[in-house]
Structure 1
Amino acid sequence: MAQDAPPARGARLGRVVSAHGNGFGTANGNVNSYPDGSAVSGVVLLLPSGAPHSTRRPSLLSHVYLRPLARALARAGASEGLVAHTVRYRSRGWNGPPGHLAEDATWAVEEVVRRYGDVPVCLAGYDMGARAALHAAGHPAVNSVLALAPWVPESSPGAPLEPVRQLAGRQVLIVHGTNDARTDPELSFRLAERAKKVNRSTCRFEVHSDGHALSQHRAEVIALATDFVLGAVFSRGYSRPVTDAFAAPPPLGLRMPLAAGFGRSLRG
């Protein structure tokens, strides 16, 4: 499948984040296992934020933001063979259709297939990276998408709407702070409404009083993300709030409040 990858010269996968050894290592490039022989059963690709238009190198801070989530996912999923990579874009800009960041995300999925074989992949993005995750979800190896504070462009007359058909058959979770001044939470709600019509396995959580960085309730957001990713990648049960959000009809399942303290009894 790698021969069909888009031209994403300069894009690459960051080092493996795992619970093996000191938490970082290099997976065998040709087989579905670590050098120590433990199997890789699923992969989460972290997609950092970006910019609408830029050819500058990606910001280091954009990668740092996702590091706590990557470590939490790798730690929680280590016993089941989950590994995490941060995608290193060729540049920080979306740069018009079809979107360089989305192309880089698709290339990264192809690279995962080349390295690990037929394993489920979750695309987990923040801000512009969340948009890239949603766009790249149509790859057959992708079974789930986590979109944190997604950047969704304003619709304008004559301009195409953000695509949603590629989300069919995937598990999709959108998380947005209600006080986000950088990416409009109402736009992500409208996107979720459209996505729900083509994919019932779509839900959206609102983090009340939180802003774009989702920093006031960081622990709850990471717990929610971990619950979703492990449940989606390994087809195991979700916590009750996530299960209820998927099952609830719009708009209830698309405006699900993230409760304070979520994760303290995660699967209780």
Structure 2
Amino acid sequence: MGAAAARGAGAVALVLPDGEAESARGASALAYARSLPTARALARAGREEGLVAHVLRYRGRGWNGTDARLASDASWAVSEVVRRYGDVPVCLVGLGMGGRAALRAAGHTAVNSVLAMAPWLPEDDVAATPEPVKQLGGRHVLIVHGTNDARTDPELSYRLAERAKKANRDTCRFEVHSDGHALRQHRSEVQALAADFVLGSLFGHAYARPVADALAAPPPLGLRMPLAAGFGRSLRSERD
């Protein structure tokens, strides 16, 4: 994992960087660096609650078929969090291929919630077996995807969310209209959504109205919830 954080954590957000479907190369320093702003934003949002955020350093950058190496690294990292901090709840926050790793590693007993952002997922009719969802039971799950993502198909994350919702009602999905894979166009709204979900899941705070509505709504509404412009600003206004 990344640099050591303060002791006495109340909860941990473990950020999983993007990766590649097949690769024998070492972990990407660029993908790691691109994950740091997400970890820092979450740490700032949860500082008063004792939230600690780490970015995982993978052994390599490839998922590599049935090896599911990034998911294995994520599971190891959750165990390492437990070793360091004790019995604290963990939210897995995955970006791209890291989103797939977060969803797959959710079965670890310490995992309380999963935030998968623009997750890379295989085509249902190409994969040998469907992407599993049973491990998501009992977790809070949020998937966020840009509708103009040219790298990871947003329709595939919708299909997975449909199956996940049947196994776990605490599942929702937000669509960021006109945004791409990196979710840069609406970064402030995405960060506000991420913070609201992570703090609500880990510390029992009331979710913002759009998140609560998305979790409560049946498919497809709760799985195609649009992320409104100014989400963070409107949320601050509600709390003031």
Quote how far apart the aligned CAs of 1:75 are. Answer: 0.7
1:91 match: 60
Q: Match for 2:98: what amino acid? A: G
* Runs of at least 4 residues off by over 3 Å: none
Structural mapping, 1:1-268, within 5 Å: 13-16=1-4, 26-27=5-6, 34=7, 39-156=8-125, 159-266=128-235, 268=238
Structure 1 SS opposite 2:232:
coil
Quote how far apart the aligned CAs of 1:261 are. Answer: 0.4
Q: CA 1:113 to 1:182, structure 2 compared with 1: closer, same or farther past 3 Å?
A: same
Q: Quick check: 196-205 or 51-60, which moved more? A: 51-60
Quote how far apart the aligned CAs of 1:158 are. Answer: 7.4
Identity over aligned residues, as a percent? 70
- Structure 2 residue runs of 5 or longer lacking an equivalent are none
TM-score where L is the length of structure 2 = 0.96
Quote how far apart the aligned CAs of 1:157 are. Answer: 6.0
Q: Match for 2:117: what amino acid? A: L
Q: Match for 1:15: what amino acid? A: A
Q: Match for 1:63: what amino acid? A: Y
Larger Rg: 1
Please state which structure has a larger fraction of its residues in helix: 2
Q: Match for 1:112: what amino acid? A: V
TM-score where L is the length of structure 1 = 0.86
What is the rounded CA distance, in whole Å, between the counterparts of 1:177 and 1:158 in structure 2?
Answer: 23
What is the rounded CA distance, in whole Å, between the counterparts of 2:62 and 2:37 in structure 1?
Answer: 24
- Number of corresponding residues: 237
Q: Match for 1:173: what amino acid? A: L
What is the rounded CA distance, in whole Å, between the counterparts of 2:9 and 2:159 in structure 1?
Answer: 36
What is the rounded CA distance, in whole Å, between the counterparts of 2:84 and 2:225 in structure 1?
Answer: 37
What is the rounded CA distance, in whole Å, between the counterparts of 1:54 and 1:77 in structure 2?
Answer: 35
Cα contact 1:227–1:266 (8 A) shared by 2:
no
